[in-house]
Chain A
Amino acid sequence: MSLDRGLDITVNTTLGDFTLEASAKLDGPLSVLVGPSGSGKSTLLNVIAGLTRPCFGRVTFGDEVWFDSERNLFVRPHLRRIGYVFQEGRLLPHLSVRSNLKFSRWFRRSTGPGPRLEDIVDLLDIGHLLDRSPRNLSGGERQRCALARALLATPSLLLMDEPLAALDEARREEVLPYIETVRDRYRIPIVYVTHALEEAERLGDEIVSMRQGRIEKIERRVRSPQPNKEPSS
């Protein structure tokens, strides 16, 4: 896997009375889509994931073409090798946390050695949660499990849709360091959606500002070098 796998997106799509018209080249490694609610950042993320099929445009990731309206080409989400962390976690409620983490292994043949379950579980401190039901997790625990599940899908691109938005301030601090650790330890490009500017500035190498279905500006930045602190458990 190389870090120079960039996302190249040109889309034009209409959902109801909302129009998304965006063109961007995202080089990451961590690109943040930031903007007020209704600005189209989550829609853009779902276009990248393949959960939303746009009307027109083209989406490529590295040398893979995921969508091309001219060639009527659309790669379905299960074939895109992504990991997706949703705002509400979306752990499958009828399975244990452990089965949620292993879910992708039932379907995806591994290409080379992926991350080991034990390593990810240690990294995110969720060992004590494995046999619990997702229904009985706190918000912070749920999001750490969702992050673990996405990583264990051995993604070549990690998508995160406001993973902290459903958490209060204290819980946010409980999850944020883990996201930084994942960013720094795994060489996976990440597209991160948030409406919180401070989160964007803390995490992003690249900040894409969106408003009313359009990209206003793309700003590359050098993250202030932080001591590589490990999350305290």
Chain B
Amino acid sequence: MIYNATLSQPRVQPLPYLSADETTAILLSLKIALIATLASLPVAIAIAWLLARRQFPGKALLNVLVHLPLVMPPVVTGYLLLIGFGRRGPFGEALEACCGVVLSFRWTGAALAAAVMSFPLTVRAIRLSLEAVDRKLEDAAATLGAAPIFVFLTVTLPLALPGVLAGAVIGFAKALGEFGATITFVSNIPGETQTIASAIYSSTQTPGADATTLRLTLIAIVIAAGALALSEYFARKVAGGAGRA
């Protein structure tokens, strides 16, 4: 870290180069988004499967709950996380007591906020791909001796894989750009919870930080566009032939 000595002092950075603070924010963003995506993916697959394949009381309610973060003001989601998962919130207290995990004002909390906010997009993509899998193939696997869990693992999931990947990538992109819920829940602490989005927000509030804003904005655009392109690529593979023999 060659810029360590000047970390806290504002200094003029040549335009094409990232400052240490900016690099930190970018790396932290990637870490938070990656952890959020990987940790929430199994849950997203399970929920998507329930919504695609099962009829049960409360299904409509579950569907609404999953999609709420998409339509609520992000600050509301962040506030609810703060109430629930803050140090004195019921879940936050329990988590700290049982596993020593603290979420509020930590990067782990930022990962939770990112996971919750990206969850609807991920679930939606996976659900669509599960619905596209030909269930007759699942029946065929059952007649060959595969119990339901193995039918899921050897037939359903592989056939839905492009959709699962598309969902993960779009969720990752969304997690990377999350701002409202994150800043409400875990604030904007450089090196701990300051992501690209909140670093941009800070720099727009700081006189003379236009170059920082510009650099981070360009990087945010590049990452988002790349993720979107990748997600589209996977989604087209779903449309192109999931489950047709």
Residues of A bordering B, CB below 8 Å: 49-51, 76-78, 80-84, 86, 88-94, 103-104, 106-108, 134-135, 142, 149-150, 153, 159
Extra inter-chain contacts (6) besides given A76-B147, A77-B143, A107-B144, CB under 8 Å: A78-B145, A92-B137, A93-B137, A108-B144, A108-B145, A135-B245
In the complex formed, the residue of B with least CB distance to A51 is B139
Chain B contacts with A in 190-245, Cβ cutoff 8 A = 241, 243-245
Q: Is B159 part of the binding interface, using a Cβ–Cβ cutoff of 8 Å?
A: yes
The 6 closest A-B pairs by CB, nearest first: A108-B145, A90-B140, A107-B145, A84-B143, A104-B144, A77-B142
Q: Say which one of B25-33, B79-87, B150-158 lies at the interface with A.
A: B150-158
Kindly identify which residue among B136, B142, B155, B158 contacts A78, using a CB–CB cutoff of 8 Å. Answer: B142
Determine chain B's interface SS by DSSP, over half rule: helix
Q: How many residues of B contact A (CB 8 A)?
A: 22
Q: Is B141 part of the binding interface, using a Cβ–Cβ cutoff of 8 Å?
A: yes
Residues on B with beta carbons closer than 8 Å to the beta carbon of A91: 245
In the complex with contacts A94-B159, A153-B144, A77-B244 CB distance below 8 A? no
In the complex with contacts A90-B137, A91-B245, A51-B143 CB distance below 8 A? yes
Check if A92 sits within 8 Å of B147, measured CB to CB: no
Min distance, Cβ B142 to any Cβ of chain A, angstroms: 4
In the complex formed, the residue of B with least CB distance to A80 is B143
* Complex Cα–Cα for A51 and B135 (A): 11
Residues on B with beta carbons closer than 8 Å to the beta carbon of A89: 245
Q: Is B102 part of the binding interface, using a Cβ–Cβ cutoff of 8 Å?
A: no
Q: Is B146 part of the binding interface, using a Cβ–Cβ cutoff of 8 Å?
A: yes
Check if B145 sits within 8 Å of A86, measured CB to CB: no
26 CB-based A-B contacts, threshold 8 Å = A51-B142, A76-B147, A77-B139, A77-B142, A78-B147, A78-B151, A81-B145, A82-B143, A86-B140, A88-B136, A92-B141, A92-B155, A92-B245, A93-B137, A93-B241, A93-B245, A94-B159, A103-B144, A103-B146, A104-B144, A107-B146, A107-B147, A107-B150, A108-B144, A108-B145, A134-B245
Residues on A with beta carbons closer than 8 Å to the beta carbon of B147: 76, 78, 107
Min distance, Cβ B131 to any Cβ of chain A, angstroms: 17
Kindly identify which residue among B141, B143, B158 contacts A83, using a CB–CB cutoff of 8 Å. Answer: B143
In the complex with contacts A89-B245, A92-B155, A107-B150, A49-B137 CB distance below 8 A? no
* Complex Cα–Cα for A9 and B75 (A): 62
Check if A104 sits within 8 Å of B145, measured CB to CB: yes
Min distance, Cβ A165 to any Cβ of chain B, angstroms: 15
* Complex Cα–Cα for A104 and B151 (A): 11
* Complex Cα–Cα for A42 and B158 (A): 28
* Complex Cα–Cα for A139 and B154 (A): 24
Min distance, Cβ B151 to any Cβ of chain A, angstroms: 8
Per-residue contact bits, chain B 138-181, to A (CB 8 Å; 1 contact, 0 not): 01111111111011001100110000000000000000000000
* Complex Cα–Cα for A153 and B140 (A): 12
Kindly identify which residue among B144, B150, B245 contacts A88, using a CB–CB cutoff of 8 Å. Answer: B245
Per-residue contact bits, chain B 24-68, to A (CB 8 Å; 1 contact, 0 not): 000000000000000000000000000000000000000000000
Residues on B with beta carbons closer than 8 Å to the beta carbon of A94: 155, 158-159
* Complex Cα–Cα for A107 and B145 (A): 6
In the complex formed, the residue of A with least CB distance to B139 is A51
In the complex formed, the residue of B with least CB distance to A86 is B140
Check if B146 sits within 8 Å of A90, measured CB to CB: no
Check if B143 sits within 8 Å of A103, measured CB to CB: no
* Complex Cα–Cα for A78 and B147 (A): 6
In the complex formed, the residue of A with least CB distance to B144 is A104
* Complex Cα–Cα for A50 and B139 (A): 10
Check if A90 sits within 8 Å of B136, measured CB to CB: yes
Residues on B with beta carbons closer than 8 Å to the beta carbon of A49: 143
Min distance, Cβ B39 to any Cβ of chain A, angstroms: 27
Min distance, Cβ B159 to any Cβ of chain A, angstroms: 6
In the complex with contacts A78-B146, A86-B136, A94-B158, A103-B245 CB distance below 8 A? no
